[in-house]
Homo-oligomer: A and B are copies of this chain.
Amino acid sequence: MQFLSDNAAAVHPSVWKAMQAADAADAPYDNDGLSRALDAAFSQLFGRECAALWVATGTAANCLALSTMVQPHGAVLCHREAHIEMDEGGAPGFFLHGAKLMTVEGDHAKITPEALKAAVAGIRDGVHQVHPHAVSITQASEYGCVYRPDEVAALAFFARGQGLGLHMDGARFANAAAFLDVAPGDIVAGVDALSFGFIKNGAMGAEAVVQFDPEEAEVLRFRRKRAGQLQSKGRFLAAQILAMLEGDLWLANARSANAAAAELAAAAGQRLLHPVEANEVFLTCTAAERAALRQQGFGFYDWGTEAARLVTAWDAKAEDVAALARAIAAL
């Protein structure tokens, strides 16, 4: 009964089916019919013209998206716990050719315009210090918390005022959208580029970089190739993404995962370290308690020495979730 992460979950049957349907040879790279259908699919989803490119990993999605906003002498403002800062093995430094990450603090791994304002105010004018070129936020955040549309709007307003791009790392965008239950376009208003995650949510190896400025998308295509991310059988990646969009499978899967997390959250009660808005549950938990849970067969990560992180995948079994909820309540 694994609650370690959603990142290695099974592939959804509809995704498998779509991939198999794509087996017959088509044009290579992104010249196949499926890849060519992505721009329209995402434009419809977001109610706004955009371009969408598949890549194989969230790290590549984030870093390529940022590469169109950040010159090598610039920086990205992000939360100190952001995935790009903590978990991407220095990929931003690689894709951005040495640009810097500037981190700010914020509750629940979310950032606020005030925090950004303070960070920017601390930078001296002139060339001796690095200046930010973009802001990156994670939706849902690294602690499973969700930016409301007005929060994104406020960040976008700030970014625009400073001449900064706004990137959204949506590795768990689906979980955020399922929580917010508003039109997807409302969640990305003011965002310049979105890394739209599908892998944690039922796909195999395809994420989308959604670029809301079509001109930048041209540059992105060059940079994707240059980064060794242009797969020759790209039709299989497009197939995964289109299958996830079809009939809003992405939302259905995310709702499942969120519901499982909500069930655990209810059991955790006062133990919760962060509001549970997506599919991650952080709870205080002694070493002895964690050992007890593990003895019952539950897998999860320690979070420091006094807490645990539980992640519910789209395919978490109801009985496992219920069992874990009971076990938590019984601690």
Residues of A in contact with B (beta carbons under 8 Å apart): 2, 5, 7-11, 16, 20, 23-28, 32, 55-61, 63-64, 71-75, 86-100, 127-131, 199-200, 204-205, 219, 221-233, 235-237, 313, 315
Minimum CB–CB distance for A103 against chain B, Å:
11
Q: In the complex, what residue of chain B is closest to A98 when comparing beta carbons?
A: B93
Q: Is the interface of A mostly helix, strand, loop or mixed?
A: loop
12 A-B residue pairings within 8 Å (CB atoms): A8-B232, A11-B236, A56-B205, A60-B229, A73-B94, A90-B130, A91-B225, A91-B228, A93-B93, A205-B205, A205-B233, A228-B229
Most chain B Cβ neighbours within 10 Å, of A86, A88, A93, A199: A93
Contact assessment for A89 and B130 in the assembled complex, using a CB-CB cutoff below 8 Å: yes
Question: Which of B92, B199, B225, B315 contacts A233 (CB under 8 A)?
Answer: B199
CB pair A63 B97 closer than 8 Å: no
A129 to B: closest C-beta gap in Å = 7
**Residues of B contacting A10 with CB < 8 Å?**
23-25
- Among all A-B residue pairs, the 10 with the closest Cβ atoms: A93-B98, A60-B228, A89-B225, A8-B28, A7-B232, A127-B225, A59-B228, A97-B97, A90-B130, A73-B222
C-alpha spacing A308/B58, complex, angstroms: 40
Question: Whole-angstrom distance from the CB of A88 to the nearest CB of chain B?
Answer: 7
Q: When the two chains form their complex, are residues B91 and A99 in contact, meaning their CB atoms are under 8 A apart? A: no
Interface centre among A95, A205, A313 (most CB of B within 10 A): A205
Q: A128 — which chain B residues lie within 8 A by C-beta?
A: 87-89, 225
